[in-house]
């Protein structure tokens, strides 16, 4: 198995394919992660639920496959995405069986070593009548007002994405309530939201009446991106006030699942896909991984705050610091000969007037393979360029923008690099995931150059991060 690009502190299965995280639950003091998994090959197909457990949401131990298709049953062609709930002391799972798409239930044993499918599946055999729907999948369930509620992702033909709302008093009998929210695919302000929505998540922030609706927007089965909508929920209908991309890496980050842990935090884990030809995944023997867990909060002014969970700091191995005052045109080596492809950079910038600051992370001495990150505080964007990160012409890379929100005269960045996956957090408000595949990701040099603006001070830390496998 080619391991050069295999991440060390991002979760991925021992081998073969993964896509969406499923069934996230904090159960009996441990975190359980299930995920869409093809156990036979590093490409999508034959969907099972893989399973892993963690004491701290950071270190993971692989467990046997939790759910597999049952011949002759509603999930004979695959166990698609779904969620987990604590149903008054019992762990209960909901997922979509295919084909046709129908909602199914399963109950876990007390230590979650076994999950038994409900004998009378499916619990919702077909979409509500009278609607021309495209897709009917990915149940997300929560409890509120002494009722159980479920949302399911779908699209209305020739209109756009929709989320269908159901309720139940006993978890097995579900009634259709109506459309929680639908949005025309002709609307593009502030964002196009595609023709169909997968993997809806609907959560309330404690101490606030605001709700977050996360949907993964797709067109013709092609992931576009995940959209976060913040707004109000009245009379069983959601009305968004703010609509934004949840991750600016577009289709690279998709289908997150949100859950609340026993400490009351709202946490999201998404699927980060490959950005290289499928034959490379065949050779490597693996494809797809889970993002770092992200904590979601609301700021006092009602903005969505997104930050990597604090527990990740325990992975830090060694610490180097650099601090510079750059004037226009200055270049400086911040960190040279960094000896692990699995690192975190924490960077604070201060400036008196708008700046354009370029960071480059070069994987060899002649600069032929490098990532660049350009911070342009005048335009309010960070540009992440992976187009020359790999000398391999079959891996063209991308150039993508991440907006800067909450700008003053300073900026904070957290940059996670893990051999072929990058996550960049800007001011704990916007995030971008990306993939890059240099020939040797394990040694790098980080440089900074002030392209415009009078001066900029940089205080940076570099940490090697440990592996997360238990």
Binding site for ligand FRU (CB under 6 A): 19-20, 36, 47, 80-81, 96, 137-138, 198-199, 254-255
| Least CB distance to ligand FRU at residue 140 (A) | 11
In this complex, which beta carbon is closest to ligand FRU, that of residue 226 or of residue 445?
226
* CA 371 to chain centroid: 21
Determine contact, residues 445/362, Cβ cutoff 8 Å. Answer: yes
| Least CB distance to ligand FRU at residue 224 (A) | 11
* N- to C-terminal Cα separation, the chain: 20
The three-state DSSP-derived secondary structure of 420-451 is CEEEEEECCCEEEEEECCCCCCCCEEEEEEEE
In this complex, which beta carbon is closest to ligand FRU, that of residue 198 or of residue 428?
198
In this complex, which beta carbon is closest to ligand FRU, that of residue 37 or of residue 276?
37
Rg (CA), the chain: 22
In this complex, which beta carbon is closest to ligand FRU, that of residue 38 or of residue 377?
38
Beta strands 16-27 and 286-287 are: parallel
Nearest Cα to Cα of residue 47 among 292, 294, 288, 280: 288
Nearest Cα to Cα of residue 177 among 220, 207, 144: 144
| Least CB distance to ligand FRU at residue 24 (A) | 15
Residue 379 is a catalytic residue? no
Given 20, 138, 247, 428, the catalytic residue = 20
Say which residue the tokens 């969620």 belong to. 83
Distances (CA, A) of 232 to 139, 203, 213, 226: 21, 11, 10, 19
Determine contact, residues 453/356, Cβ cutoff 8 Å. Answer: yes
Report the SS3 class of residue 295: strand
| Least CB distance to ligand FRU at residue 38 (A) | 9
In this complex, which beta carbon is closest to ligand FRU, that of residue 83 or of residue 411?
83
Determine contact, residues 238/265, Cβ cutoff 8 Å. Answer: no
Which DSSP category does 453 fall into? Answer: S
| Least CB distance to ligand FRU at residue 135 (A) | 7
Distances (CA, A) of 357 to 215, 323, 325: 33, 15, 12
Determine contact, residues 242/230, Cβ cutoff 8 Å. Answer: yes
In this complex, which beta carbon is closest to ligand FRU, that of residue 148 or of residue 271?
271
| Least CB distance to ligand FRU at residue 288 (A) | 10
Active site residues: 20
């Amino acid at each position: 198995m080619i391991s050069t690009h295999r991440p060390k502190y991002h979760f991925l299965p021992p081998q073969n394919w993964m896509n969406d995280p499923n069934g996230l639950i904090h159960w009996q003091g441990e975190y359980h992660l299930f995920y869409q998994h093809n156990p036979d090959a590093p490409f999508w197909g034959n969907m099972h639920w893989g399973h892993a457990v963690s004491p701290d949401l950071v270190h993971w131990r692989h467990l046997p496959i939790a759910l597999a298709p049952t011949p002759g049953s509603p999930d004979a062609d695959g166990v698609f995405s779904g969620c987990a709930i604590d149903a008054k002391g019992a762990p209960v799972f909901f997922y979509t069986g295919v084909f046709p798409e129908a909602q199914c239930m399963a109950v876990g044993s007390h230590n979650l070593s076994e999950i038994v499918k409900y004998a009378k599946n499916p619990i919702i055999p077909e979409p509500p009548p009278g609607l021309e729907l495209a897709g009917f999948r990915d149940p997300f369930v929560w409890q509120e007002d002494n009722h159980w509620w479920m949302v399911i992702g779908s699209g209305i033909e020739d209109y756009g994405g929709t989320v269908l709302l159901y309720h139940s008093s006993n978890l097995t009998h579900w009634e259709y309530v109506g459309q929680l929210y639908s949005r025309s695919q002709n609307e593009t302000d502030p964002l196009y939201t595609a023709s169909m929505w997968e993997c809806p998540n609907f959560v309330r922030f404690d101490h606030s009446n605001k709700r977050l609706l996360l949907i993964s927007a797709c067109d013709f089965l092609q992931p576009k991106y995940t959209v976060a909508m913040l707004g109000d929920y009245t009379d069983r209908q959601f009305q968004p006030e703010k609509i934004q991309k949840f991750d600016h890496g577009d289709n690279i980050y998709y289908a997150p699942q949100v859950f609340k842990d026993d400490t009351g935090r709202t946490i999201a884990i998404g699927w980060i896909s490959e950005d290289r030809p499928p034959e490379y995944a065949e050779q490597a023997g693996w494809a797809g991984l889970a993002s770092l867990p992200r904590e979601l909060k609301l700021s006092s002014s009602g903005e969505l705050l997104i930050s990597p969970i604090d527990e990740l700091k325990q992975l830090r191995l060694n610490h180097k610091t650099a601090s510079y005052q750059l004037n226009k045109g200055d270049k400086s080596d911040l960190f040279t000969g960094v000896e692990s492809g699995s690192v975190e950079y924490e960077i604070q910038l201060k400036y008196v007037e708008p700046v354009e600051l370029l960071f480059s992370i070069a994987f060899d001495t002649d600069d032929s393979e490098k990532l660049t990150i350009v911070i342009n505080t005048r335009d309010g964007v960070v540009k992440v360029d992976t187009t020359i990160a790999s000398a391999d012409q079959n891996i063209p890379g991308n150039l993508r923008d991440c907006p800067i929100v909450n700008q003053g005269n300073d900026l904070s960045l957290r940059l996670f690099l893990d051999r072929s996956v990058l996550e960049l957090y800007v001011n704990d408000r916007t995030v971008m995931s990306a993939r890059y595949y240099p020939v040797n990701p394990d040694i790098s040099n980080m440089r900074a150059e002030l392209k415009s603006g009078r001066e900029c001070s940089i205080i940076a830390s570099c940490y090697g991060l440990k592996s997360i496998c238990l």
